[in-house]
Amino acid sequence: MSLTGHLLIGAADVPATEGTMKALNPATNTLIEPEFAFGGRAQVDQAATLADAAFDSYSHTSLAERAAFLESIADNLNAAREELAARAALETGLPQAQLEGEAARAATQFRQFAEVVRKGRFLQLAIDPAQPDRQPRPRMDHRLQKVAIGPVAIFGASNFPISYSVAGGDTASALAAGATVILKAHNAHPGASEIQARAIRKAVQMHGLHEGVFSMVRGGGNAIGEALVDHPLIKAVTFTGSEVGGMALYRRAQLRPDPIPVFTEMTSVNPTFILPEALEARGAEIGDGFVERMLVNVGQACLCPSILIAVEGEGLQALRSAMINRVSAAPARTMLTPGIHGSYVKGLEAMESVGANLVAVGAPADGQLEGRSALLEVDGQRLLSEPALAHEVFGPAALLVTVNDEEELLAVARSFKGQLSAAIHLEDRDLDLARRLLPILERRTGRIVVNAFAHPQEVTFATVHGGPFPATSDSRFTSVGMTSIERFLRPVAYQGFPDALLPEVLREGNPLGLPRSIDGQ
């Protein structure tokens, strides 16, 4: 595919109106052709107007039609996999083989959501039949389904250039719900974004859908993101990135004349707790495994395990030694952007400035944007007295926290703010302590893992990728997994309708054979 660098607004390729940019190859710190267009409020308005015009027809496509559309997107992504991965590798410094796997995951998500759509359970169909003879007054027939919330704006993420980007889970779940999508491409990987956007637009055209079902815009600075959040035709926003960026969008959305939901995924250190018997039995194994997972993606993953808490005792020295050995042997690797690299360096400096001891570093960096791994250590009291130590440092760094006893371990657990995940390593004789720890973690995270690490994560019906603030802005929803579709749905009740006027999914006789509750049964 020949990259044009244009914005893709409906069926149109739109040239720059607000300047241009080139992608950066972070491995060589050089710019890559071609130039990519920036747009502004006028282009957001064009895309939003199209998305609104497309919404009624697209949200009323049959389940079979919508599922087939999602599968065509998956087919198009698979057809472009090698080209997409090669371009993403140039723009991120990540291995091409890893990115081919990420592209395959993105295609798989669209197929998974196609099955969700076909089965229809996401509609949560409910029927409470009329009771004309009920006393003291009759009950009318009531029927309920979930419908799409409206056109949505999705902000692509920087750290996963495919599976959290243009063709990521947010786009797949929004389209599955029946929402039309405007995607704000991340400037860290504009070429990869264009390839994905063209795969989606091709599917729109193949199925004869309204051109406004999908658009992709791009801009410099904050103006285009603010324009998306401000636009009165946009009814929801998703964002993956920093707490500062996410909360700026969230607050802006609440100041609209008609406030809208902003579903953010922002920050998490994914604490790991090693209970005493597990530490004694498997300290070295856990320490090595923890650092191995921390180093994945050069530590640039929302589920990167960053803080490990262990009680002083047998096995602690083996744990510490294993972590030091793994960190010391780790080569420096290219980070995604100059901004992320700079923030990582400043984050390490900030941790040391508030009392963290640097106990191991990886091989020296050769490239300007390479991240050197680091292991820092503090005791539990220092962590409790310096909340900044529990802040995310986005990169290949880990903090080992040693606590004096079980009570201090529980106090440290209580000190954490909301997290995407937490992990517990335990043996049978640790169960009593685990039972005390569990309710503390349940209040602070959306996913708890036992005898494994938070990363990687499966994409399933039981997946939860969310948690209390500041992990997300709304802990009721997940941004990964099949139930992420619920972010883009709202309930509508139909009362006293003649059968011919009802949506097909709610008609008598259940013509589509979908799961429905009748009087709660």
State the DSSP H helix or E strand holding residue 333, giving kind and residue range, or none if neither: strand 333-334
CA 172 to chain centre: 12
CA distance to 306, 505, 506, per residue, from 500 (Å): 57, 12, 10
Helix (H) or strand (E) holding 72: helix 63-79
% of the chain surpassing 90 pLDDT: 98
pLDDT in tens, 194-249: 999 999 999 999 999 999 999 999 999 899 999 999 999 999 999 999 999 999 99
Dump the DSSP string for 414-446: HH---BS-EEEE--GGGHHHHHHHHHHHHTTBS
Tokens representing 86 are 């090669």
pLDDT digits (tens, 9 = 90+) for 140-171: 999 999 999 999 999 999 989 998 999 999 99
- The 3-state DSSP composition of the chain as helix, strand, coil percent (nearest 5) reads 45, 20, 35
For the full predicted model, state whether its pTM sits above 0.85: yes
Burial class (CB in 10 A: 0-12, 13-18, 19+), 513: exposed
Give the CA dihedral 199, 156, 98, 34, nearest 10 degrees.
Answer: 70
Task: Of 361, 304, 293, 368, give the one whose Cα is nearest residue 334.
Answer: 368
What's the Cα-to-Cα distance from 167 to each of 41, 211, 222, 266, 301, rounded to whole Å?
Answer: 23, 17, 22, 19, 18
Characterise 178 by phi-psi region: left (phi > 0), alpha (psi -120 to 50), beta (else): left
Please count the other Cβ atoms lying within 10 Å of the Cβ belonging to residue 506.
20
Instruction: Share the mean pLDDT of the chain.
Output: 97
Q: What is the pLDDT of residue 501?
A: 98
Bridge partner list, 14: 7
| Residue-level pLDDT at 71 | 98
Query: Is 508 a catalytic site residue?
Result: no
Query: In this structure, are residues 330 and 396 in contact, taking their beta carbons and an 8 Å threshold?
Result: yes
H-only helix segments in 168-307: 169-177, 190-206, 223-230, 243-254, 276-294
pLDDT at site 406: 97
The predicted structure's pLDDT at residue 264: 96
Q: Which residues of the chain, if any, have pLDDT below 50?
A: none
Among the options 194, 280, 302, 304, which is catalytic? 302
Contacts of 422 (CB under 8 A, 6+ apart): 270, 271, 272, 273, 416, 441, 444, 445, 447, 448, 449, 454
| C-alpha 256: how far from chain center | 25
Q: Tell me how far apart the alpha carbons of residues 275 and 295 are, in angstroms, rounded to a whole number.
A: 23
Q: Tokens 């209390």 label which residue?
A: 468
d(CA 75, CA 352): 49
**265 is known as an active-site residue:** yes
CA atoms of 343 and 360, how far apart (whole Å): 20
pLDDT at 456: 84
Domains of the chain and CATH, by start: 7-124+148-266+472-492 (3.40.605.10), 272-450 (3.40.309.10)
> CA 35 → CA 23, 43, 405, 450, 458, distances in Å?
8, 18, 58, 47, 36
Instruction: Choose, from 265, 280, 377, 408, the residue flagged as catalytic.
Output: 265
